[in-house]
Structure 1
């Protein structure tokens, strides 16, 4: 996450040279975002339609790693964090608030629709320069990064024969594990995070920033500035035992200090005397990392980072000891019962309800399964979606353990019911997403389902992939897919941890094994075609079966099937009273799965 100005201050003290053959470890999240930067360097950054596919991102990550190995660097490990310490929560919240505000700015910049694909660039087809000499800046408002970037990179690396065994999804923050690896074995950390400069990297360990690496095509060697903390401390006449921690502390407290001023404060001992407690807390962040249960670390490799975090936090609240900075064992805290899920940030319309809302019942079932890991009830879960200010997130009730099997049966029955009407089973998941949107709208008793409006546009040949309606429905569909992926991974982990699953949940996990991989999730470039295929694949008949009791929804579904009657449908809609003839539904949030009130 980085300390502002620290890297800039230390740039003159970096050793600029050819990277000799050596062992390197990768900061996994930094690698993922570096690859994203490589793939979007020449794209139209204001358009989500020009964001690279997950397939291209994964392929580029592997190509980049192969290239640095061919130039003499030996990749020893690629660390991804799966359990961020509580001390990072305020910073994560601030990042989420910034992302939310940036999304609002993006929507305000393009209220009538986002920019499309430029004629000079075929989205996703451009050659990727692995070591560019320049990084063009973009000052205009941009969409958020692809929501599943990091897990997509992890999946691609896991499937690679060369690098799969090097992926380490660690039960803590990746920075600390990268530093510990280099401290114990020597070598370099490749990262984009200046925090790595503050860790103890041993006598020979160093840091290289990913964007600084250049390739010499003639000699097939790599060149980059190397930041060796021990050497930098010696040149600055700082005590080697403190490393750069005291300097980083001074810079973090006052980013406006010059390097000379910060060094003078370090030498005067101001950091350790005037603010001893504050300095001690700062130093603790860069000692041995706080980790969750090591007992489950191997199986955590099968989880996405954000999913593994909530799973490991559930294990932590069970009373399993954790290791804090300084290798001290800490016990369960009073706030450990407050579980939070930081959901991937979607490109949805900020003027509408969060795209995560329609699929919440699936995630509530996943959270309910966590109780089997925890050994006690989970009363509620706070989901971190879009945030405008410091907040505890969106609170979701969690079903009791006794309700889990019934909810699992209900979801499986719904999936079978959808599949029965389809000629293409690949449409199961998107049909479920459409149904969830319809059900959410009916639950609220106002308005028309967004999904049916967009489907009607597709049927009449008027669909606009740049419209916010299209993008919001896409985000809701992505949320449905990922919620099912979350449920699948939690069920798999629960089976491993407890040794068994009930019969209903075992059947459900087998069905969910059919979920598509992240590269096959709907995207801004593929979703319009998927919506067209729904009409031909029998999805509308399945939706009619599911929505048989909802008069207004049935009329809208028929208007999608018969777009030539659209004008008559509009007249009927104008004559209908506000709210139409929608049948009221129970306020129970689990009725969507259990079918209560249908």
Structure 2
């Protein structure tokens, strides 16, 4: 919870110190770096946004791989002056965040609706100052850290807000200075020892010097500020005064007119009489020490996505780890906000059955569980009737009916089939080009040409709605995978397929999806005929059975076959280029075309 004007007010009392750290500075031991990973993930994303050339394409087809490289570079640069000891990711947000979270979701939906009005046909993000957050940003950040040989041992998805765990780990550090890197001024309010410093991510820089790389930071010392305010926890009281509007008017303007040292003692006396409500105090209590230092068998493994982690830490098996404990018996799952068309039904209709199964594995049937997601231009809470675990076997059979056994992309093809069925049942079946684009998005066959730049006018709302539905299906499958991993309670065949599922950030190639729309008008009749023949005969590169998989999918799903999908395309530039050498190239190297 933010404290209004906290830093600007405290700066009048004591300006933070600006210091530079370097491994070549002659220090025997570098300070420890304790990082609020959730804050850093968004900070690096905002840095990436500043470098985007085509804002629409670079945001909607966000390059997760490039982002992950930027994350690793930032951590490596930080090591020039610090030893990274902890990276904490939010894994559970307490009940007192409910209003804040709902308002944030509503703001994102409102921004989405406003953009939909400003760009009714082709999407142009230049028409709005709002920059949507990629749906798997935290998962991409955590995965980049966890897959790194040096950093994987210091990252944890914690059963609470990352800032509380950062404050606790820094205070417990025994090797000298410990610096918490964050974007949240609330870190100053937590109890801390004299060796703890706070560095705001926006007030730091990496610099090159004659003696090597340096890290320049602006450091706040909470214990020192608390002492200037009279000690005895007066910094917490001061934060409450700033937070509470009625007290802010009474105390800030009259009692604290200046930051002169001569009145500091008097401030302490005034603050000593301020009563801080227990609910506010609870927000700034430190978690038990074992929660951020132990890695026992009772602790779930690293969960890449914060929203999935939150579901786990509300479950019957892991709720006892949550800090602070949830006071609500009912469970609300805040689904990631997707970039979608507000005039259509929520993309989260896709994957609902899969999520129900995941919830059933984690929660008792008596649990009142709801999902918070978009409905039109607002936010709704949809109550979920939990499935029975017997449905796991049925789902496994459905997934098994799509690809051949052992295909690592089985789950992806299943997700695409669910998107197609969703449109068919709604009475608005997908166009054949849309289906081919979806198949292209999940295909990792090598492209035989460079994917062209996608003109802005190609980014239409129906297309981003398709992408949002695939994202919803992927996240639902990931949640089910997490549920089966932490409990080991599901059909073994389904668990095998879920384990083989590609990572969320690698599963969907948005640029290939969009390229289909740019390429299809140029495809000649002979090229389409050869593509049909390849699918029919199951030809393709050795080891790539996607053609047979897709053919089976559409035939058994009673949806128009791939032959009709390719053969029914209208238009094109004629057959002058169809001399027997370029048909497959036109279809991006895919076995299906």
Q: Distance in 1 between matches of 2:429 and 2:368?
A: 28
8 Å contact kept, 1:24–1:77: yes
* Corresponding residue of 1:195: 186
* Corresponding residue of 1:488: 481
8 Å contact kept, 1:188–1:207: yes
Q: Distance in 2 between matches of 1:492 and 1:508?
A: 12
- Provide, for residues 403-449 of structure 1, a one-character-per-residue CA deviation record: whole Å limited to 9, x for no partner: x23x22222222222214x9x956544432332123324444xx312
Task: Note closer, same or farther for the CA distance 1:22–1:106 as it changes in structure 2 (3 Å cut).
Answer: same
- Provide, for residues 160-199 of structure 1, a one-character-per-residue CA deviation record: whole Å limited to 9, x for no partner: 1111100022222211111111222241100001110111
* Corresponding residue of 1:82: 91
8 Å contact kept, 2:34–2:180: yes
* Corresponding residue of 2:70: 60
Task: Note closer, same or farther for the CA distance 1:65–1:521 as it changes in structure 2 (3 Å cut).
Answer: same
Task: Note closer, same or farther for the CA distance 1:451–1:78 as it changes in structure 2 (3 Å cut).
Answer: farther
Aligned match for 1:285, one of 279, 283, 286 = 283
* Corresponding residue of 1:102: 111
User: Any idea what SS the aligned residue of 2:156 has?
Assistant: strand
User: Any idea what SS the aligned residue of 1:164 has?
Assistant: coil
User: Any idea what SS the aligned residue of 2:164 has?
Assistant: helix
* Corresponding residue of 1:298: 299
Task: Note closer, same or farther for the CA distance 1:451–1:286 as it changes in structure 2 (3 Å cut).
Answer: farther
Deviation of 1:341 (Å): 1.4
Query: Superposition pairs for residues 420-431 of structure 1, below 5 Å?
Result: 420=404, 425=407, 428-431=410-413
Q: Distance in 2 between matches of 1:78 and 1:455?
A: 41
Q: Distance in 2 between matches of 1:168 and 1:306?
A: 14
Query: Superposition pairs for residues 403-482 of structure 1, below 5 Å?
Result: 404-405=389-390, 407-420=391-404, 425=407, 428-444=410-426, 447-450=427-430, 452=432, 454-455=434-435, 465-482=458-475
TM-score using structure 1 length: 0.75
Task: Note closer, same or farther for the CA distance 1:396–1:143 as it changes in structure 2 (3 Å cut).
Answer: farther
Query: Superposition pairs for residues 136-215 of structure 1, below 5 Å?
Result: 140-185=128-173, 186-215=177-206
Deviation of 1:475 (Å): 1.1
8 Å contact kept, 2:205–2:217: yes
Q: Distance in 2 between matches of 1:506 and 1:427?
A: 17
Q: Which runs of 5+ in 2 are unaligned?
A: 23-29, 259-265, 440-451, 521-530, 536-545, 572-593
8 Å contact kept, 2:198–2:221: yes
Aligned match for 1:230, one of 223, 226, 232 = 223
Q: Does 1:339 align with 2:331?
A: yes
8 Å contact kept, 1:19–1:221: yes
Aligned match for 2:510, one of 496, 503, 524 = 524
* Corresponding residue of 2:565: 560
User: Any idea what SS the aligned residue of 1:561 has?
Assistant: helix
Task: Note closer, same or farther for the CA distance 1:457–1:283 as it changes in structure 2 (3 Å cut).
Answer: closer
8 Å contact kept, 2:142–2:304: no
Q: Distance in 2 between matches of 1:55 and 1:273?
A: 53
8 Å contact kept, 2:181–2:200: yes
Q: Distance in 2 between matches of 1:457 and 1:155?
A: 27
The range that moved more, 248-257 or 531-540, is 531-540
Q: Distance in 2 between matches of 1:524 and 1:252?
A: 43
* Aligned Cα root-mean-square deviation (Å): 3.7
* Corresponding residue of 2:7: 7
Task: Note closer, same or farther for the CA distance 1:415–1:48 as it changes in structure 2 (3 Å cut).
Answer: same
Deviation of 1:316 (Å): 6.4
Deviation of 1:115 (Å): 3.2
* Corresponding residue of 2:382: 394
Task: Note closer, same or farther for the CA distance 1:298–1:114 as it changes in structure 2 (3 Å cut).
Answer: same
TM-score using structure 2 length: 0.76
8 Å contact kept, 2:240–2:280: yes
Deviation of 1:564 (Å): 4.4
Deviation of 1:49 (Å): 3.3
8 Å contact kept, 1:200–1:243: no
8 Å contact kept, 1:271–1:279: no
User: Any idea what SS the aligned residue of 2:40 has?
Assistant: helix
User: Any idea what SS the aligned residue of 2:181 has?
Assistant: strand
Deviation of 1:65 (Å): 0.8
8 Å contact kept, 1:173–1:289: no
Deviation of 1:491 (Å): 0.5
- Provide, for residues 542-581 of structure 1, a one-character-per-residue CA deviation record: whole Å limited to 9, x for no partner: 3432333xxxx549x7752322479xxxxxxxxxxxxxxx
Deviation of 1:470 (Å): 0.9
Deviation of 1:15 (Å): 1.3
* Corresponding residue of 1:364: 356
Q: Distance in 2 between matches of 1:317 and 1:392?
A: 27
Deviation of 1:452 (Å): 4.7
* Corresponding residue of 1:17: 19
* Corresponding residue of 1:310: 311
8 Å contact kept, 1:380–1:398: no
8 Å contact kept, 2:92–2:322: no
Task: Note closer, same or farther for the CA distance 1:396–1:441 as it changes in structure 2 (3 Å cut).
Answer: farther
Q: Distance in 2 between matches of 1:252 and 1:292?
A: 31
Deviation of 1:352 (Å): 0.9
Q: Distance in 1 between matches of 2:172 and 2:301?
A: 24
Aligned match for 1:73, one of 82, 94, 101 = 82
Deviation of 1:393 (Å): 1.4
8 Å contact kept, 1:100–1:387: no
- Provide, for residues 357-395 of structure 1, a one-character-per-residue CA deviation record: whole Å limited to 9, x for no partner: 122111111111114xxxx32455311222689966122
Q: Distance in 1 between matches of 2:242 and 2:54?
A: 32
Deviation of 1:215 (Å): 2.4
8 Å contact kept, 2:88–2:162: yes
Q: Distance in 2 between matches of 1:142 and 1:45?
A: 15
8 Å contact kept, 1:83–1:173: yes
User: Any idea what SS the aligned residue of 1:165 has?
Assistant: coil
Deviation of 1:54 (Å): 1.6
User: Any idea what SS the aligned residue of 1:386 has?
Assistant: strand
